[in-house]
């Protein structure tokens, strides 16, 4: 299929990344296939994906990337046996290395002419390097270009000067109204740098140019056990233009307790340039989830907001119900559905990590 090439977006177009709760046309996911992401537990993962697809399909179209025609038929069988309605589901053969579409996929933005007027959709293509950890990322890096061709949408590489900027979608969260959350651990750490030598001011300029944000709210650290080096979507998320849910722990001995407390203090102290302050709400942390001696990044903050539904990972924990109640209060017009994710998090990510929203055209 022919389509736009990278760099075809008009130079004077003004970009804005919509908040996740704004209207979607679809959600993109990649069907799981990399067994090494869930060693010893992979057999359960397609069934968890099936439940996620079932819930998403009640709210919007679901676009699923598969490795080949054989993988497509396997996925279809799992969905059929799970009584998933296939009417809103579309399959696409597009090879991936892993199935964490939030990070390897494109960021969808709205583009408007500098003088105003109607807007259209465009894509931002971050440079993907396997979270500065894995060596097999070449297929994942090509996913944004494939999506742009399929949808016939303009796409731009995110650049600072002539440098293609490394970033993943789970490393930031936007309010849709100018604010962006990120952690210094992920974006600024020189010991685990995605972009060595590219400092705070340069990165903020990139985020302004490609996502349309006006301010970056910097937190310090992410969760222990998170192999992305501190993605913000496990610790703090916008649920309104000036409202943030932030994970807190009530166990002082828990490994994440100090970082979560510091993040909350930073949010409470932050003063947006437009005036006022953020409304900061608590989201409980589950008890630490440990498997094979490894603490896993289990977090209710890895929820995903679809058109009429919010999907939240649950961990067979007494706090599951509390977290669902918090999200019901945050999204009163949506059904909040818990998805059992104790096996899924063995892959070091859950629901938000595997989804990518396509805003309504």
Longest pairwise C-alpha distance within the chain: 57
- The Cα–Cα gap between 36 and 128 comes to 19
Q: How many CB atoms lie within 10 A of CB 205?
A: 12
Q: How many CB atoms lie within 10 A of CB 199?
A: 10
82, burial (CB in 10 Å: exposed 0-12, middle 13-18, buried 19+):
middle
Using CA atoms, how far residue 261 sits from 206, 239, 249, in Å, is: 29, 19, 8
Check if 353 is active-site.
yes
Half-sphere exposure of 233 (CA within 13 A, CB side): 28
- The Cα–Cα gap between 344 and 212 comes to 33
**151 Cβ contact list (under 8 Å, min separation 6):** 3, 121, 358
**258 Cβ contact list (under 8 Å, min separation 6):** none
Question: Of 353, 356, 358, 359, which one is the catalytic site residue?
Answer: 353
- The Cα–Cα gap between 267 and 278 comes to 7
Order of all β-strands in the sheet with 243-248: 236-240, 243-248, 279-284
**197 Cβ contact list (under 8 Å, min separation 6):** none
Q: Report the catalytic residues.
A: 353
């Amino acid at each position: 299929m022919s389509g736009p090439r990278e760099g075809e977006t008009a130079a004077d177009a003004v970009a804005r990344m919509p908040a996740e709760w704004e209207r979607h046309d679809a959600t993109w996911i990649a069907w799981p296939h990399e067994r090494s992401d869930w060693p010893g537990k992979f057999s359960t993962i397609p069934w968890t994906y099936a439940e996620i697809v079932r819930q998403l399909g009640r709210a919007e179209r679901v676009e699923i990337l598969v490795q080949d025609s054989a993988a497509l038929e396997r996925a279809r069988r799992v969905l059929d046996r799970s009584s998933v309605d296939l009417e809103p589901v579309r399959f696409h053969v597009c090879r991936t290395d892993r199935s964490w579409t939030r990070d390897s996929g494109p960021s969808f933005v709205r583009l408007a002419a500098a003088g105003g007027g109607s807007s259209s959709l465009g894509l931002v293509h971050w440079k993907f390097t396997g979270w500065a950890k894995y060596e097999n990322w070449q297929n994942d890096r090509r996913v944004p270009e494939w999506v742009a061709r399929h949808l016939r949408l303009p796409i731009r590489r995110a650049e600072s000067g002539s440098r293609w900027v490394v970033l993943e979608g789970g490393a930031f969260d936007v309010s849709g109204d100018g604010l962006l959350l990120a952690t210094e651990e992920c974006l600024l750490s020189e010991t685990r740098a995605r972009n060595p030598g590219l400092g705070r001011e340069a990165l903020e300029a990139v985020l302004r140019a490609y996502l349309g944000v006006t301010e970056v709210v910097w937190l310090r650290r992410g969760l222990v056990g998170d192999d992305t080096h501190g993605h913000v979507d496990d610790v703090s998320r916008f649920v309104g233009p000036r409202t943030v849910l932030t994970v807190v722990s009530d166990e002082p001995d828990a490994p994440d307790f100090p970082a979560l407390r510091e993040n909350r203090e930073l949010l409470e102290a932050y003063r947006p340039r437009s005036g006022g302050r953020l409304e900061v709400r608590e989201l409980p942390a589950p008890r630490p989830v440990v498997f094979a001696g490894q603490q896993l990044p289990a977090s209710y903050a890895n929820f995903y907001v679809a058109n009429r539904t919010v999907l939240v990972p649950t961990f067979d924990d007494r706090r599951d119900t509390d977290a669902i109640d918090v999200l019901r209060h945050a999204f009163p017009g949506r059904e909040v559905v818990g998805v059992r994710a104790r096996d899924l998090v063995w892959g070091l990510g859950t629901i938000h990590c595997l989804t990518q929203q396509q805003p309504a055209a």
